[in-house]
Structure 1
Amino acid sequence: MNNMGAGIAITGCGSAAPEAVLTNDHLAQMVATSDEWINTRTGMSNRHIASATESLSQLSAVAAQNAIAMAGITATDIDLIILATSTPDDLFGSACKIQGLIGATNAVAFDLGAACSGFIFALITASGFIRAGVYKNVLIIGADILSRWVDWSDRSSCVLFGDGAGAMVCQGTSQDDRLLSFGMYSNGSQNDSLNLNYYSQSKPLVENITAQYGSYKPITMNGKEVYRFAVAKVPEAISKAMFQANLTADDIDWLLLHQANQRIMDAVAKRLKIPTEKILSNIAEYGNTSAASIPLALDAAVRDGRVQPGHTIAASGFGAGLTWGAAIFKWG
């Protein structure tokens, strides 16, 4: 046990995405849509699609290595790896595979499933271990390859999703705690609004005993319900977190939301009275990458200099479950 006190420092980030880019014009060749229709309604222009030789574990490993390098530590310094994903390479989990790929030989690793809220839930989970003094250096990864589970003939959903991975290093510190407040929420009564369901076939084994085996159906979504849910619950969650941290909208340097739809992000900013120029958005390039979307957007903003040490970031993830959560933290 490493007794590091109650402080958390966020010291590194990284990201990775597949090489292949699927544009709105490409989608217009596949289904009845257009670049204008997609861009106007979602803010999306491109999305990156994993090839047969690109795995979730490999993308995650690259993102993790970039985050570890920025933090100025080595893979063997990592005590814990939390992989937030809904699309592991292996149904038993992919966190341990990533641990092996990056050489984090001293780390315990596990997967966390909370769909598009996964990265925020992973950050909050990591903070509990650090604040308890159990672990000093925690690597959190948000990664998804949703293209594996998209119905590419469904115009309402196939335009939305892309693939990618993002990572963050959180470290115990005796200095100021950089995670200022957080909240996590779930509403299972709306579970059928966004699903990637298992379907089975019957296989008789012996008399009176039949096993069920099968696969998963493509993603289904009630877009209107998810939109209404997000624009109502996300501002509420962030407002509660700001209250807990004794902050106002004027204290927030950046609004970092799950990249589901630009209209959702704009609506959340308006309700919070946060200027839209404070929204960190890369949805035009990557689309909705589920658990990867928040760290992908953060990494781009850190590396191009928009996000500076000491900046206060209000972040929120929301999606299937239904789940949602918020965290307010200072970068660096």
Structure 2
Amino acid sequence: MTAPLPAFGAPPGRAPVIVGVGGHVPPNVVTNDDLVARLDTSDEWIRTRTGIAARHVVTPGTATSDLAVEAGRKALKSAQDAQVDAVVLATTTPDHPCPATAPAVAGRLGLTGVPAFDVAAVCTGFLYALATGAGFLASGLAERVLVIAADAFTTIVDPADRGTAVIFADGAGAVVLKAGDADEPGALNSVVLGSDGELSDLISVPAGGSRQRSTGLPPEPGDEYFHMAGRATYRHAVERMTAAARQSLAGTGWAPEDVDRFASHQANARILEAVAERLGIGPERRLSNIEHVGNTGGASIPLLLAQKSADGELKAGDRVLLTAFGGGLAWGAATLTWPEL
């Protein structure tokens, strides 16, 4: 039995409100046909199992910070170039093990001097970073926070592993949060977060950290790459995202039929469909971009929001449900009414 998940509720007058959004993907596109040329797979196999037709991939010399800066710049412009008091970057692929990537991103955005730090929660990183930004606002430490999620995920994926190479891609998304009122458009409602470290081996990069380095032995071949137990991950992703979404809806006072747009972490098409069906949210209310951008890790939700807001599929006044799942294991959900941007 899963224990109840903690939920965040903002104090009166200090609700976290989204006032800007931005997304970025690298220009280099890798199609299924490109992968078929070097992997034992087919376009039909990839589409059937993942829903992906193409993905954006960094070229040599492009790092996570480059993606984060572009998304952050667009979010700041969307927020009418508002001055922010902190930068939170969610990433699984920092530019370096040390230092954190966020200070460099902040500096390139002209935000030198503000607190800037990384958050690591893999594909749930954006929701964890949102909650962190909300905490800064609630405490009065900041009036506006730039929250970015960026991953150059293909840099940690084994290019010869059919199970992961066809899924993961690179990108970034960002939002600007301000301290506002809980009843105004853009305000985050019940934010739910959870984790289960006993299952951390389901999604991991075994080598490169202090656990492996402390042995004094070289890593096992392939351990420098991302590993994922596909079937077990699928089951936990569906269960955890569904449970978190239901709790967030309950905390907001919404029923599934009240949701206008469902924006889930773009893991793969089968997981998205399974979670939406369990929640009773029909295809006409689901937002998805996985066919053209793949699974961009922690960046997937803000990138999805930025793209769908730009193309008009996500409109001001839409009641939105967010949910995500990733390594840790970690999961989360949140609700909001989309603002006019």
TM-score by structure 2 length? 0.90
Pair 1:283-2:308 in alignment:
no
What is the alpha-carbon distance in structure 2 between the residues aligned to residue 255 and residue 273 of structure 1? 11
Tell me what 2:35 maps to: 27
Conservation of the 8 A alpha-carbon contact between 2:17 and 2:181: no
1:35-46 alignment, distance < 5 Å: 35-46=43-54
1:29-108 alignment, distance < 5 Å: 29-74=37-82, 77-92=83-98, 93-108=100-115
Tell me what 2:17 maps to: 9
Report the more deviating stretch, 322-331 or 174-183: 174-183
1:119-268 alignment, distance < 5 Å: 119-174=126-181, 176=183, 178-198=187-207, 217-268=224-275
Conservation of the 8 A alpha-carbon contact between 1:200 and 1:214: no
Relative to its length, the structure with more strand (as a share) is: 1
What is the alpha-carbon distance in structure 1 between the residues aligned to residue 139 and residue 30 of structure 2? 44
Give the CA deviation at 1:90. Answer: 1.5
1:34-65 CA-to-partner distances (Å, cap 9, x unmatched) read 11100011000111110113221111111001
What is the alpha-carbon distance in structure 2 between the residues aligned to residue 273 and residue 128 of structure 1? 32
Q: Which residue type is aligned with residue 190 of structure 1?
A: L
What is the alpha-carbon distance in structure 2 between the residues aligned to residue 279 and residue 210 of structure 1? 46
1:118-143 CA-to-partner distances (Å, cap 9, x unmatched) read 00111111111112222111000111
Query: CA distance change for structure 1 residues 4 and 66 in 2, over 3 Å: closer, same or farther?
Result: farther
Q: Which residue type is aligned with residue 49 of structure 2?
A: R
Conservation of the 8 A alpha-carbon contact between 2:90 and 2:125: yes
* Structure 2 SS opposite 1:225: helix
RMSD (CA atoms) = 2.0
Note the residue ranges of structure 2 that are not aligned, 5 or more in a row. Answer: 1-10
Conservation of the 8 A alpha-carbon contact between 1:254 and 1:279: yes
Tell me what 2:125 maps to: 118
| Aligned residue pair count | 321
What is the alpha-carbon distance in structure 2 between the residues aligned to residue 83 and residue 104 of structure 1? 14
Tell me what 1:206 maps to: none
Conservation of the 8 A alpha-carbon contact between 1:4 and 1:131: no
Query: CA distance change for structure 1 residues 115 and 31 in 2, over 3 Å: closer, same or farther?
Result: same
What is the alpha-carbon distance in structure 1 between the residues aligned to residue 209 and residue 270 of structure 2? 37
Determine which structure has more spread, i.e. the larger CA radius of gyration.
Answer: 1
Q: Which residue type is aligned with residue 183 of structure 1?
A: V
* Structure 1 SS opposite 2:33: helix
1:121-177 CA-to-partner distances (Å, cap 9, x unmatched) read 111111111122221110001110111111111111111110011100111124625
What is the alpha-carbon distance in structure 1 between the residues aligned to residue 123 and residue 251 of structure 2? 24
What is the alpha-carbon distance in structure 2 between the residues aligned to residue 83 and residue 188 of structure 1? 22
Query: CA distance change for structure 1 residues 211 and 32 in 2, over 3 Å: closer, same or farther?
Result: closer
Q: Identity rate of aligned residues, in percent?
A: 38
Conservation of the 8 A alpha-carbon contact between 1:55 and 1:89: yes
What is the alpha-carbon distance in structure 2 between the residues aligned to residue 326 and residue 159 of structure 1? 26
Note the residue ranges of structure 1 that are not aligned, 5 or more in a row. Answer: 202-208
Query: CA distance change for structure 1 residues 316 and 11 in 2, over 3 Å: closer, same or farther?
Result: same
Query: CA distance change for structure 1 residues 153 and 175 in 2, over 3 Å: closer, same or farther?
Result: closer
* Structure 2 SS opposite 1:297: helix
Query: CA distance change for structure 1 residues 218 and 210 in 2, over 3 Å: closer, same or farther?
Result: closer
What is the alpha-carbon distance in structure 2 between the residues aligned to residue 210 and residue 283 of structure 1? 39
Query: CA distance change for structure 1 residues 135 and 213 in 2, over 3 Å: closer, same or farther?
Result: farther
* Structure 1 SS opposite 2:41: coil
1:240-296 CA-to-partner distances (Å, cap 9, x unmatched) read 111111110121111111111111111111100111221111001111110111111
Query: CA distance change for structure 1 residues 58 and 266 in 2, over 3 Å: closer, same or farther?
Result: same
Give the CA deviation at 1:107. Answer: 2.0
What is the alpha-carbon distance in structure 1 between the residues aligned to residue 66 and residue 252 of structure 2? 37
Q: Which residue type is aligned with residue 187 of structure 1?
A: D
* Structure 1 SS opposite 2:241: helix
Query: CA distance change for structure 1 residues 143 and 210 in 2, over 3 Å: closer, same or farther?
Result: closer
